[in-house]
Structure formats: C-alpha cells, structure tokens
C-alpha cells in the first residue's frame, strides 16, 4: 500500500514537471505584443486601489430623456378634475398631507385636484419615480446646500423633478435648458456663461445658485412660496394679472383658476412629487441604485484643452459618465480660455489617478492632438486630386455651374467631398442657411478648370494609391434620414449602436433630432500612417498606425466583475460595442460576471 502511494506521488511530480516545462515553452514562444503610446503612458500610472466600475447600460438610463418627455407631457395634459382609479384612501391621503404641511413653509392642503394628480403619478409613473430617486441621491445634496445658503425652502429641490426630470441636458420646445429650465435671456441675466463650448444653464452648481437667487427675489415680491413657484412657471406678470382678476386675493389656491392652464397643474404636480418622495416606501416605490453620489466626486482644474474621449481613454471610464458629471460642456470638450479656469468633475478615485499622473496625461493629450492634426494634413496631402470621369456624379453643365440632384442618403458633406469643394461654398452658391437639403433638390456646383497634374515621386505615389485603396476598402459610411416617430434610442436599437455613439458621430449636444435630419450611423475611422520622423520614439512607431483588424480568429472572453461592453471593447483594437453585441446575439448591454463572450479578431 505504501509502495503504491509512493508511486502515485512520484508520477504526479513528473507530470507537474512536464506541465511546467510545456507552459514555460509556450510562454517563451508567445509573440511579443507591442504597446500603443496610450497603453505605454497608462502603464506608468500610479493606481488607486479604489476602482469605481460603472454599468454602461445604467449610464444610458441616466442621460436618456424619456422620463423628461413623459413627465412634461403629463403635467401639460393631466386633467385635475378627472377622478383616477387607484388604491389610496382619501382620509389616509388627508392625514399624510397634513403631516407634510406641519413641517413645510408651503401651504399643503387637500383638494380633489391634488388627489387626482397623485393617483395619476402612482398609476402611470411608479417606475419613472424609482429612477428619479436614484438621480436625486446625486443632485439633491447640491440643491440643498445652495438653498440653505440663501434661506430658500429645501423643498424647492422637488421643482427640478417637475422642470427637467433631473436631466441637466433637458431642452424644452421653447429652448429652456438644464435642470432648472432657464431660457437664454434669463440665463444671461443671472450671469450664466453660454457660448459655443459651454452652457452653464446645464451646470448643476451654477444653475442652482441662479435658481436660488431668482426664488429669493420673487419671494421678496410676492411673500408666498406657492406664488413664487407659479411665477417661475408662467412669469411674474401672469401672476400679477391673476391677482387682479381674482379681486386682489394673494393665495395660490384662490387665484389658481385665473392662471394659465399649464400653471394650474404646475404647483399641484410639484406637491404630488413631494408626496411621492416622502411616502415612496408606503406605495412600494423602490429607488434604483445610484451609480455615483455627489460626495464621491471632486473637481480638478484643467490646464489645457482636452476632449472627453481623451480623458475616458486615459482613465478607463465611459464617456457617458463624464458627460453626466460635466453636462455644461456642449462639445464633449473641456476648453481652455486665457485667464479663465475650467474644471472637470470626476469620481474621486479617477481624480486621484489624474492628480498623480498629470505630467504624463498632458503629454499624451498634446501628442494625440498634434497627431490628429498631422493625420488630417497628411490625408489632404495624399488625397488624389484628379477623379476618374466614371466616378464623378452625374451632373448637367450649365454655364460656369454644374447641377447635382440630391439623392436619398446624401448630405452636404458627402456632396462636397464628391466635387472636392467645401460645404460653405455649396451653401453660398445655393443660398442655403443650414446644412439640411431636401431629396430631389438640384444644387449648383461651380465648375473649375482642371489644375495641372503635379509629378509625385514614386514612393509618395505608391503611398497615395495604397491610401486610396485602403480607404476604398475600409471606409463604410451609413446614413439614416430621421422619420416621424424616431428618437435616438429607437435609431440606436435599430442599428445595434448606442445613443452616445450616435451623438458623438453627429456632434449632437442633446437627444433632440429634427424630422428629415440625416444622421451618420457608422463611420470607419481612417488614419494615414504617420512617417517615422514624427514618432516620439523609434520603438513605438506602431503606436500611431491603425490597421484593419482581421476578424477571422475567434477568442473567448469571460466577463469579470466591473466589466462593461465599453471597457471590453477597449481591450480589442478595432472592436466596437456593436460588434460584441452582434457576435454574441446580445439585445441590450446587460452582461454578468462569468458570462462567456465570443470576440472575433
């Protein structure tokens, strides 16, 4: 028996030794993986052990506008005089409203209209309110701090739910913007900066300070918080008219029927929202989890212009989270103005990484910006000027102009590229005020004498031809014309992409899209290979060369805790979220740890 045990042990020992040799041999023969410049920069980062992982699907929920659209429609259309069939005894509601009234400066009294609106929200918007309560964990502390400084009732925080559904990117049909829905003129009146890069009406801190100042001024005029809310919705002029028409009464409930119809439901909607937040447990409304809370974030001053994409790549976080925390930057860029400071808000662990590695971060941003500029210039340099007659779009010559008939899927950028002219020239020749062009319209394109052909050295000529052939093979643009009933969410679902990707491709600052607008659905990024002389170091030339990824090799990836489709796609050059969803037949972006994903390429 002892001899048998010894034999088993000896056999196991030799098996392990053989396995170790085989493993070592495999590791030695594994080809060396070249790091990109971005990876080499990040490999030097000092890491913070606290890693904040964000579910990209939930981030899309936070920045979507569906709750805003639903609540806005409800407030404008709810009939306070129509009884709603929903389980809530009237006597119990009266008791709860009386309890709220005791600890609030607002006059919260029962009436049938308020009961109907509360029941309508309970019947139709319970899920929306559970999501709103998750958002409130981030925004309410900001509001309360600002209101406390100005002695504004903290309950005013619920007004942001009614105004914008706690979405800082919300824009009304009239152009009111941000959490507190300031019009352009009002924003300027309260010193909120609005320019091409920045709209501080969407800045939670600055817009809330402006709201606080407005509320204080209106209370000094009316001396009644319900009337202050009414003036916020319809303007102080309409409130004054209602007071006159009521015979001089100065209580909201006495003048309500003399106010504009929307304002008649506005204050009750505010009180109904307050009630649902106060008694959500009693009605089975369970708040969704909050992705990030305000005290878990911090700000840092940015010394040079940088894009959200650069920050996201460097700090391994989705752009959607940066957008959520920094909604006042319209172009997804933190600008640099001489003599002004601009800040970016990030989770504290990302702030720690940023502060610990500022020198490398700014070095990468400088390189990336210069490289993109160089690539653009090289693309212009190598682009073939003369176009074969067969590939030129059909046009009718007429004097100094040719006429091009707009087809389905065309846009000014594509037409300008076909004729080697600029968009501004086409707009000038055709007296166009916007970039929108109708299908079937004939556009004037100015004819020019063909420029003399320059002699290109053999090497450059080969590079130009190779570049053109590569562009022919890999650039697959897909356009989509918006039709009635479309929104960014439905379009993204239709084409297997995300709202964030659509907005980035089309330079959209909000989720609003006009009927007939042409959207770029996908666009292959083509980068001209950078000459070795512009590389930072000879051993990292491959860093700046983006080649088509071969997608004929399959690899399995097992989802780890904290992974998202965004972070997984970043691990595989050339692979997008849409690719992963397509290869694995995933309908949404909900993935779980341990799940096996197939990655091609």
pLDDT of 45 = 66
CA dist 563 and 317 (Å) reads 11
Q: Kindly tell me the burial class for residue 340, based on how many C-beta atoms sit within 10 Å of its own C-beta (0-12, 13-18, 19 or more).
A: exposed
Query: What three-state secondary structure class fits 285?
Result: coil
pLDDT of 275 = 95
CA dist 76 and 319 (Å) reads 34
* Phi then psi dihedrals of residue 138, to 5 deg: -90, -45
pLDDT of 31 = 47
Taking the CA of residue 142 as centre, how many other CA atoms within 13 Å lie in the half-sphere pointing to its CB? 24
Q: Do domains 476-522 and 549-600 have the same CATH topology?
A: yes
CATH class given for the domain over 549-600:
alpha beta
CATH superfamily of 400-446: LysM domain (3.10.350.10)
pLDDT of 98 = 94
Total H helices, total E strands in the chain: 25, 11
Query: What three-state secondary structure class fits 2?
Result: helix
* pTM passes above 0.75: no
* Phi then psi dihedrals of residue 423, to 5 deg: -60, -40
For the chain, the domains span 56-278, 294-329+338-382, 400-446, 476-522, 549-600
Instruction: Kindly tell me the sign of the dihedral angle through the C-alpha atoms of 328, 59, 73, 79.
Output: negative
Query: What three-state secondary structure class fits 270?
Result: helix
Domain 56-278 has CATH 1.10.530.10: yes
CA dist 207 and 202 (Å) reads 7
Long-range contacts of 67-70 (CB under 8 A, 24+ apart): 67/128, 67/131, 67/132, 67/165, 67/167, 68/164, 68/165, 68/167, 68/170, 70/125, 70/128, 70/165
Query: What three-state secondary structure class fits 257?
Result: helix
- Chunked into runs of 10 residues, the chain (601 residues) has average pLDDT values of 47 47 44 58 58 42 62 67 76 94 90 87 87 89 94 94 90 89 92 92 95 94 93 92 92 90 87 94 85 80 91 87 90 89 90 90 86 58 46 46 78 77 82 77 69 40 42 49 75 76 77 75 44 35 34 70 76 79 78 81 60
CATH superfamily of 476-522: LysM domain (3.10.350.10)
575 touches 557 (CB < 8 A): no
Phi/psi-derived region of residue 474, left when phi > 0, alpha when psi is between -120 and 50, beta in every other case: alpha
Query: What three-state secondary structure class fits 494?
Result: helix
Which residues are within 8 A (CB) of 436 and not within 5 positions of it... i.e. 6 or more apart? Answer: 514, 516, 517
Query: What three-state secondary structure class fits 316?
Result: coil
81 touches 117 (CB < 8 A): no
Give the containing element (helix H, strand E) for 310: helix 308-315
Give the containing element (helix H, strand E) for 446: strand 442-446
Concatenating the DSSP letter of every residue in 442-472 gives EEEEE--PPPPPPP--HHHHHHHHHHHHHHH
Nearest to 496 by CA among 599, 582, 591: 582
CA dist 559 and 565 (Å) reads 9
């Amino acid at each position: 028996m002892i001899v048998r045990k010894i034999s088993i042990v000896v056999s196991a020992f030799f098996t392990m030794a053989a396995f170790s040799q085989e493993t070592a041999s495999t590791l030695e023969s594994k080809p060396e993986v070249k790091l990109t410049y971005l990876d080499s920069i990040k490999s030097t980062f000092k890491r913070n052990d606290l890693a904040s992982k964000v579910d990209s699907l939930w981030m899309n929920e936070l920045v979507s506008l569906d709750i805003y659209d639903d609540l806005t429609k409800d407030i404008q259309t709810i009939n306070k005089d129509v009884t709603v069939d929903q389980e809530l005894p009237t006597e119990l509601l009266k008791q709860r409203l009386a309890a709220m009234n005791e600890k609030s400066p607002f006059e919260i009294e029962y009436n049938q209209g308020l009961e109907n609106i509360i029941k309508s929200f309970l019947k139709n918007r319970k899920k929306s309110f559970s999501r709103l309560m998750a958002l409130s964990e981030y925004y309410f502390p900001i509001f309360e701090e600002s209101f406390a400084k100005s002695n504004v009732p903290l309950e005013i925080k619920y007004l942001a739910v009614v105004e914008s559904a706690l979405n800082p990117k919300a824009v009304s049909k009239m152009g009111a913007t941000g959490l507190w829905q300031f019009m352009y003129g009002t924003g300027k009146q309260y010193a909120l900066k609005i320019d091409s890069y920045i709209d501080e009406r969407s800045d939670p801190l600055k817009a809330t300070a402006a709201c606080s100042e407005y509320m204080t001024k209106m209370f000094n005029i009316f001396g009644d918080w319900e009337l202050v809310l009414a003036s916020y919705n319809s303007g102080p002029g309409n409130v004054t008219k209602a007071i006159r028409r009521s015979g001089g009464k100065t209580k909201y409930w006495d003048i309500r029927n003399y106010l504009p119809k929307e304002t008649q439901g506005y204050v009750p909607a505010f009180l109904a929202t307050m009630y649902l937040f106060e008694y959500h447990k009693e009605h089975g409304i369970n708040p969704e989890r909050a992705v990030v809370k305000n005290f878990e974030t911090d700000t840092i001053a940015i010394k040079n212009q940088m894009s959200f994409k650069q920050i996201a790549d460097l700090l391994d976080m989705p752009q959607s989270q940066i957008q959520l925390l920094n909604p006042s930057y319209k172009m997804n860029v933190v600008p640099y103005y001489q003599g002004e400071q601009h800040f970016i808000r990030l989770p504290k662990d990302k702030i720690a990484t940023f502060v610990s590695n500022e020198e490398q971060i700014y070095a990468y941003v400088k390189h990336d910006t210069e490289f993109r500029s160089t690539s653009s210039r090289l693309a212009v340099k190598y682009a073939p000027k003369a176009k074969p007659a067969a590939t030129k779009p059909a046009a009718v010559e007429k004097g100094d102009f040719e006429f091009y008939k707009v087809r389905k899927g065309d846009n000014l950028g594509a037409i300008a590229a076909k004729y080697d002219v600029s968009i501004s020239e086409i707009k000038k020749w055709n007296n166009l005020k916007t970039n929108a062009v109708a299908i079937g319209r004939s556009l004037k394109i100015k004819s020019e004498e063909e420029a003399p052909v320059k002699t290109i050295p053999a090497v450059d000529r080969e590079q130009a031809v190779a570049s053109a052939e590569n562009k022919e093979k890999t650039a697959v643009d897909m356009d989509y014309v918006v039709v009635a009933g479309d929104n960014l969410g439905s379009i993204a679902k239709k084409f297997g992409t995300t709202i964030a990707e659509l907005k980035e491709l089309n330079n959209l600052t909000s989720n609003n899209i006009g009927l007939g607008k042409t959207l770029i659905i996908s666009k292959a990024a083509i980068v001209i290979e950078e000459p070795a002389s512009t590389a930072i170091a000879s051993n990292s030339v491959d860093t700046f060369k983006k080649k088509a990824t071969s997608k004929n090799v399959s690899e399995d990836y097992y989802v780890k805790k904290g992974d998202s489709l965004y972070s997984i796609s970043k691990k595989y050059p050339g692979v997008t979220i849409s690719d992963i969803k397509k290869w694995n037949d995933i309908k949404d972006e909900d993935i779980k740890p341990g799940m096996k994903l197939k990655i091609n390429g």
